[in-house]
């Protein structure tokens, strides 16, 4: 067994790799994830925050209440999360970029507004700082229970969603700008699915000096003419609709025509669904964000996202040190799901912060052989490096994950 870690390839695919290279002037801070999420939003041009305080997302609300008036924006503390996201949708319809932030209990309440924003193609950003559940669970402990809820953030079907997840304070800053850009370009709400650890932890953070000079920020444009809803088209970069400019736009909860009139007609239903699904599916190349380590020669690959990916990555490097050719996949784009990252026919070990198994099911679906996909679920606490290394070693040498306390391996 080699004691030295062999050279291993690391890849990060995300637009902010280039952004970070271009931004050289700025400030280096020691700050929290919630601070980075707030500043990222301000840098992206967010001018309205409407929400309801909830641990562990409350600090975003507090930071926003201070920052937004400084840049001519508006902080609104609403009567509940329903009002919060609907007010954001209203502000966005009025022409201002908007964001809300919450945790699981508030995120499910927002689904009414989420569906309304999806069908009306309203750009918005929603932060869900996940904590362990179900329901209130443990307010100060991390969880990853909203992987599927974020995909299906409304009832009724017939839509795709965009969900991104950061795994460091610095990444939270860039990713928030990215989330705003995508919401503008795709005319849809984007969820930043983060967790209690990333929100609450303090870390090194670089912030560019001049937000006005960030040429990679997609500015808000206004769609001033028909069609307001290009139903039947997957076209990207259609400017968002605006209320208050006399265009006569109609926005509603119903299946609509290209004018926005409600219509009860199968062909209209088809055309609207084509638009909502294919504007995302046909442009998946614009939505690829991930990190990998050593997947090319790996005999076993660990899969994780968010805060948990940090200890999992170290666990992969530790397994390599022990002589296991371990690889690592960290999903940044959670939805649409990056099936192509699981093309190699090797065992995958999916580490996530829930016992029921959510991400693992998508990896099972995507991998060439779903039977080779293993699950290491943990809840309320990150995986330890030792657990991950032991799991990878077990799969590589014996074809199974050893029994470990508080680790759940059963999926079905």
Binding residues (CB under 8 A) for other proteins: these are: 48, 50, 69-70, 72-74, 76, 78-80, 82-83, 86-96, 98, 112-113, 115-116, 243-254, 260-262
Burial of residue 270 (number of CB atoms within 10 Å: 0-12, 13-18, 19+): middle
Of 161, 191, 194, nearest to 178 (Cα)?
Answer: 191
User: In the complex with other proteins, which residue's Cβ is closer, 95 or 370?
Assistant: 95
Nearest-approach distance from CB 174 to other proteins, in angstroms: 26
Nearest-approach distance from CB 395 to other proteins, in angstroms: 47
Mention every residue, 6+ apart, whose C-beta is less than 8 A from residue 215. Answer: none
User: In the complex with other proteins, which residue's Cβ is closer, 142 or 260?
Assistant: 260
User: In the complex with other proteins, which residue's Cβ is closer, 134 or 244?
Assistant: 244
Nearest-approach distance from CB 255 to other proteins, in angstroms: 12
Stated as kind and residue range, the H or E segment containing 300 is strand 300-304
d(Cα 42, Cα 40) in Å, to the nearest integer?
6
User: In the complex with other proteins, which residue's Cβ is closer, 246 or 405?
Assistant: 246
Under 8 Å between Cβ of 316 and 357: no
Crossing angle for the helix pair 33-43 and 169-186, to the nearest 10 degrees? 40
User: In the complex with other proteins, which residue's Cβ is closer, 24 or 70?
Assistant: 70
User: In the complex with other proteins, which residue's Cβ is closer, 80 or 204?
Assistant: 80
User: In the complex with other proteins, which residue's Cβ is closer, 109 or 303?
Assistant: 109
Nearest-approach distance from CB 87 to other proteins, in angstroms: 3
Of 355, 363, 365, nearest to 406 (Cα)?
Answer: 355
Nearest-approach distance from CB 114 to other proteins, in angstroms: 10
Nearest-approach distance from CB 25 to other proteins, in angstroms: 20
d(Cα 379, Cα 392) in Å, to the nearest integer?
19
Burial of residue 28 (number of CB atoms within 10 Å: 0-12, 13-18, 19+): exposed
C-alpha torsion sign, points 103, 90, 271, 230? negative
Tokens found for residue 371:
């039977």
Nearest-approach distance from CB 294 to other proteins, in angstroms: 47
């Amino acid at each position: 067994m080699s004691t030295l870690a062999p050279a291993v390839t690391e890849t990060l695919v995300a637009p902010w790799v280039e952004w970070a290279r271009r931004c050289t002037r700025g400030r280096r801070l020691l700050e929290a994830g919630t601070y980075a999420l707030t500043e990222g939003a301000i840098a992206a041009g967010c001018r309205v925050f409407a929400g309801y305080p909830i641990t562990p997302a409350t600090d975003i609300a507090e930071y926003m209440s201070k920052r937004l008036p400084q840049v001519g924006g508006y902080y609104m503390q609403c009567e509940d999360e329903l009002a919060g996201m609907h007010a954001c949708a209203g502000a966005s319809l009025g022409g201002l970029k908007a964001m809300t932030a919450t945790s699981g209990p508030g995120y499910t309440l927002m689904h009414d507004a989420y569906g309304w924003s999806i069908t009306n193609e309203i750009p918005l950003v929603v932060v869900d700082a996940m904590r362990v559940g179900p329901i209130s669970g443990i307010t100060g402990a991390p969880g990853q229970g909203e992987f599927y809820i974020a995909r299906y953030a409304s009832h009724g079907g017939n839509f795709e969603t965009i969900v991104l997840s950061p795994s460091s304070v610095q990444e939270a800053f860039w990713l928030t700008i990215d989330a705003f850009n995508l919401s503008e370009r795709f005319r849809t709400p984007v969820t930043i699915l983060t967790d209690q650890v990333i929100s609450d932890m303090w870390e090194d953070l670089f912030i560019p000096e001049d937000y006005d000079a960030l040429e990679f920020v997609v500015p808000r444009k206004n769609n001033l003419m028909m069609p307001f809803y290009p139903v039947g088209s997957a076209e990207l970069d259609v400017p968002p609709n605006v209320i208050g400019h006399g265009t006569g736009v109609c926005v509603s909860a119903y299946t609509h025509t290209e004018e926005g009139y409600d219509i009860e007609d199968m062909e209209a239903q088809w055309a609207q669904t084509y638009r909502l699904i294919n504007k995302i599916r046909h442009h998946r190349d614009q939505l690829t964000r991930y990190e990998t380590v050593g997947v090319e020669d790996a005999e076993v690959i660990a899969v994780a996202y968010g805060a948990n990916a940090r200890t999992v990555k170290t666990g992969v490097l530790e397994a390599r040190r022990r002589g296991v050719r371990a690889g690592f996949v960290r999903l940044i784009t959670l939805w649409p799901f990056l099936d192509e990252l699981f093309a190699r026919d090797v065992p995958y070990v999916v580490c996530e912060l829930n016992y029921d198994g959510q991400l693992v099911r998508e990896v099972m679906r995507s991998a060439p052989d779903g039977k080779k996909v293993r699950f290491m679920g943990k809840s309320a606490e990150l995986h330890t490096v030792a657990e991950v290394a032991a799991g990878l070693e077990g799969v590589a040498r014996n074809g199974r994950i050893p029994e470990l306390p508080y680790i759940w391996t059963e999926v079905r």
